[in-house]
Structure 1
Amino acid sequence: MYDTLKDTYQLFEEIGRGRFGTILRAFCPVSAESVAVKIIDKSLLTDETDRACLEKEPKIMTLLSPHPNILKIHNVFETEDSMAMVLELCEPETLYDKIAHRPLPEPEAAGLMKQLLGAIAHCHRMGVVHRDLKPENVLFDSRNNLKLADFGSAEWSGEGGSMEGVVGTPYYVAPEVLMGRLYNEKVDVWSAGVMLYIMLGGIPPFYGETATEIFEAVLRGNLRFPPKVFRGVSPAAKDLLRKMMCRDVSRRLSAEQALRHPWILSGGEANPMD
């Protein structure tokens, strides 16, 4: 693999590290473009699920490209021992870094959420459910455009649009996933709602000291807006949050519906619901 990869790209320093390998900065002399190369060591894949995810991820990313708010995949190189995915190069700062120390003003949060919901809606139209939406998986290019990344847990929604399997990250996982039921693409809308709550309030809606405590809080699902934190947040933003994190999946907004919510359409500014 490396001869072929190195014939096409100049590989430079490590810029990231994941569970199964490393991410390097690289340069393509033919296109004069800087890229990121994600190299996965197949010997670290411990079970069939991991191997299936590795096989699916480049296929799903290729299907979803090109979209302005989804990380672009340029190329894939594979041998028996490893796989290298050549990806669009993004800035080091993720959404997690942006929101780690302060809540965002509503117009900034609305702009980010509009881009994220656009990416999610595109995934859902193509029959793909991300299943691990969290701020760490949201990147930005050099022009500050949002890029949804890391499709390692993504799944085809399949016939009837339902799937099963507990995947995701404690703070962001939807309650129906934890209940062990069949679920659909709206698990992504719940996760995006949790991200929006943190953007506006600076704290997660469901909290615990351990993963088990967080799961229990998610299952109780009492969505509250502590006055001390949410005093300055508009009624329209809270209305969208309630509709994205609605426990009744049939009443939860789809990504397309969330994009048409007054708070998103107004850019978080003059809200008709204020």
Structure 2
Amino acid sequence: MTHTLAQLRAGQLSGIARLDLADDLTQFPREIFDLADSLEILNLSGNQLEALPDDLHRLTRLRVLFCSDNRFTELPECLGRCAALTMIGFKANRIERVTAAALPPLLRWLILTDNRIRQLPDELGQRPHLQKLMLAGNRLQQLPASLRQCHRLELLRIAANQLVELPQWLLELPSLSWLAYAGNPLEAQAEAAALSTTAPIDWSQLSLRHTLGEGASGVIHQASWQPPGEEARDVAVKMYKGQMTSDGSPLHEMHACITAGRHPNLIEVLGQVSGHPEEQAGLVMALIEPSYRNLAGLPSLASCSRDVYADGLRLSLPVAMGIAGGIASVAAHLHRQGITHGDLYGHNILCNDRGDCLLGDFGAASFHATTDTVQTRALQRIEVRAFGILLGELLARIEPGPDASDLQLLKDLQARCCQPQVLARPGFEEIGALLSRFAAMGPPTL
């Protein structure tokens, strides 16, 4: 819930652990310090703040701080003195300057998306707990070489910057699993011809109905499409917002969806919206059956880079392997097209009770060369680690029944996918073959 300044000043919020305060603030309310004994999460996003108090460290229990959509021009150095602070979010400000003094010692999750940052301090690599780093939509020309020391770093968003290369040390980070770098000069863009092969669908042929879902990059509607001379059909239409997201540019997402082409485990793209009265970009896609649902929920503040699954979720072995096999197959397909998904997670997988699955959300997708190079293999094997994490989550939720020996091949595969030596991991072609071999072995539960 959103709190008010009046509630805070009246003492009505005493003892709360989380404060969400969006009240057109221009100054930090000193009354927040009255909550020091309990306050752990402070959300001051959507105000007009330009600074934080030097004595912010008095909030000794503060673990999470959000100050997105404000007017900061530098990351406040008072943050570095907050001993318990692990997560910082300053998306969509005007930040140009980030100093070492602004980085708290226990920093685990840093969001600086959509600012004006040209350089990051080398001391960023001296934060050993760093697990999630979101820097899309800035002006970075290089990353601090010290990040090679961040062996726990799993998710990195550097899309829409000015990077001209991916350093070799980045491709060797042992835990990196989710990488987005689209919209930089370094990116090997797919040929523009891919866009021209997608049929335009005139806006006048579409009638939007109710909203099916909304994400950072756009809104998905159920719609009716009336092609000339044909019967109307139900479709899904995603209209892109055009704003920078934590993953990168929504237009890069649209490009990746089109370039991905067709595969049984992808949502079919029917065409690109043309003739919108406000020139808004959009895609027309096949409508998914209502029997499909998200495999998992988004990571929480506590889980950081791990999905949250429903309590008590159990999967039969055939269903779990259906999901794993489908995702391995579509990932291999994407890699052949020169695309890394960048966000291979359970929360981006739709599945039904039979284990049929669809991989969605290309917001973090990036392009790489289709030739077999050391860099290409490394980028693909980074994504293999994400699959290994997913496979482990599936194995952990298989309902009782299979003998441990029946699952050993899968456990061995999961370990290989997650091993720290990036290039020693199997590719998705090999993973798919191993999963097919497991199915052919015919353990009793299959």
**TM-score computed with the length of structure 1 as normaliser:** 0.69
* Residue of structure 1 equivalent to 2:331: 120
Looking at structure 2, the residues matched to 161 and 77 of structure 1 have their Cα atoms a distance apart, in angstroms, of: 38
Identical pairs, percent: 24
* Residue of structure 1 equivalent to 2:318: 107
* Residue of structure 1 equivalent to 2:410: 237
Cα deviation for residue 237 of structure 1 reads 1.6
Matches within 5 A, 1:80-99: 82-90=280-288, 91=290, 93-96=293-296
Per-residue CA shift, 1:112-164, capped at 9, x if unaligned? 1111111000011111111110112112489974221111111112374638x
Q: Which moved more, 1:128-137 or 1:61-70?
A: 61-70
Looking at structure 2, the residues matched to 245 and 88 of structure 1 have their Cα atoms a distance apart, in angstroms, of: 34
- Secondary structure of 1:162's counterpart equals helix
Q: 1:15 aligns with which of 194, 205, 212?
A: 212
Q: Give, as a single letter, the amino acid of the residue that structure 2 aligns with 1:199.
A: L
Looking at structure 2, the residues matched to 190 and 46 of structure 1 have their Cα atoms a distance apart, in angstroms, of: 24
* Residue of structure 1 equivalent to 2:272: 76
* Residue of structure 2 equivalent to 1:27: 224
Looking at structure 1, the residues matched to 252 and 423 of structure 2 have their Cα atoms a distance apart, in angstroms, of: 29
Instruction: Report the CA distance shift for 1:126/1:46 in structure 2 as closer, same or farther (over 3 A).
Output: closer
For structure 1, the residue ranges without an aligned partner over 5 or more in a row are 164-181, 204-227
| Larger RCO (CA within 8 A; separation ≥ 6) | 1
Q: Conserved in 2, the CA contact under 8 Å of 1:140 and 1:146? A: yes
Looking at structure 1, the residues matched to 245 and 408 of structure 2 have their Cα atoms a distance apart, in angstroms, of: 47
Looking at structure 1, the residues matched to 309 and 326 of structure 2 have their Cα atoms a distance apart, in angstroms, of: 16
Instruction: Report the CA distance shift for 1:141/1:40 in structure 2 as closer, same or farther (over 3 A).
Output: farther
CA RMSD between the two structures = 3.4
Looking at structure 1, the residues matched to 271 and 226 of structure 2 have their Cα atoms a distance apart, in angstroms, of: 15
User: Which protein is richer in helix relative to its size?
Assistant: 1
Cα deviation for residue 265 of structure 1 reads 2.3
Instruction: Report the CA distance shift for 1:268/1:198 in structure 2 as closer, same or farther (over 3 A).
Output: farther
Looking at structure 2, the residues matched to 4 and 143 of structure 1 have their Cα atoms a distance apart, in angstroms, of: 36
Q: Give, as a single letter, the amino acid of the residue that structure 1 aligns with 2:410.
A: A
Cα deviation for residue 268 of structure 1 reads 8.0
* Residue of structure 1 equivalent to 2:375: 162
Q: Give, as a single letter, the amino acid of the residue that structure 2 aligns with 1:246.
A: Q
Matched, 1:45 2:252: no
- Secondary structure of 1:22's counterpart equals strand
Looking at structure 2, the residues matched to 96 and 23 of structure 1 have their Cα atoms a distance apart, in angstroms, of: 19
Cα deviation for residue 269 of structure 1 reads 5.8
Per-residue CA shift, 1:211-250, capped at 9, x if unaligned? xxxxxxxxxxxxxxxxx9x985721121111111121112
Matched, 1:60 2:271: no
Matched, 1:251 2:424: yes
Q: 1:190 aligns with which of 375, 379, 385?
A: 385
Looking at structure 1, the residues matched to 273 and 339 of structure 2 have their Cα atoms a distance apart, in angstroms, of: 23
* Residue of structure 1 equivalent to 2:163: none
Structure showing greater Rg: 2
Looking at structure 2, the residues matched to 46 and 237 of structure 1 have their Cα atoms a distance apart, in angstroms, of: 35
Q: Give, as a single letter, the amino acid of the residue that structure 1 aligns with 2:422.
A: V
Looking at structure 2, the residues matched to 131 and 265 of structure 1 have their Cα atoms a distance apart, in angstroms, of: 27
- Secondary structure of 2:293's counterpart equals coil
Q: Conserved in 2, the CA contact under 8 Å of 1:37 and 1:84? A: yes
Looking at structure 1, the residues matched to 252 and 329 of structure 2 have their Cα atoms a distance apart, in angstroms, of: 22
Matched, 1:270 2:446: no
* Residue of structure 2 equivalent to 1:214: none
Q: Give, as a single letter, the amino acid of the residue that structure 1 aligns with 2:430.
A: Q
Q: Give, as a single letter, the amino acid of the residue that structure 2 aligns with 1:57.
A: E
- Secondary structure of 1:257's counterpart equals helix
* Residue of structure 1 equivalent to 2:58: none
Per-residue CA shift, 1:68-108, capped at 9, x if unaligned? 11122122226666322212222351222796332322222
- Secondary structure of 1:82's counterpart equals coil
Q: Give, as a single letter, the amino acid of the residue that structure 1 aligns with 2:375.
A: S
Q: Conserved in 1, the CA contact under 8 Å of 2:342 and 2:383? A: yes
**TM-score computed with the length of structure 2 as normaliser:** 0.44
Per-residue CA shift, 1:4-56, capped at 9, x if unaligned? 42x111211011010133111112133533211111222x3379x83xx3232
Instruction: Report the CA distance shift for 1:134/1:259 in structure 2 as closer, same or farther (over 3 A).
Output: same
Q: Conserved in 1, the CA contact under 8 Å of 2:388 and 2:417? A: yes
Instruction: Report the CA distance shift for 1:257/1:94 in structure 2 as closer, same or farther (over 3 A).
Output: same
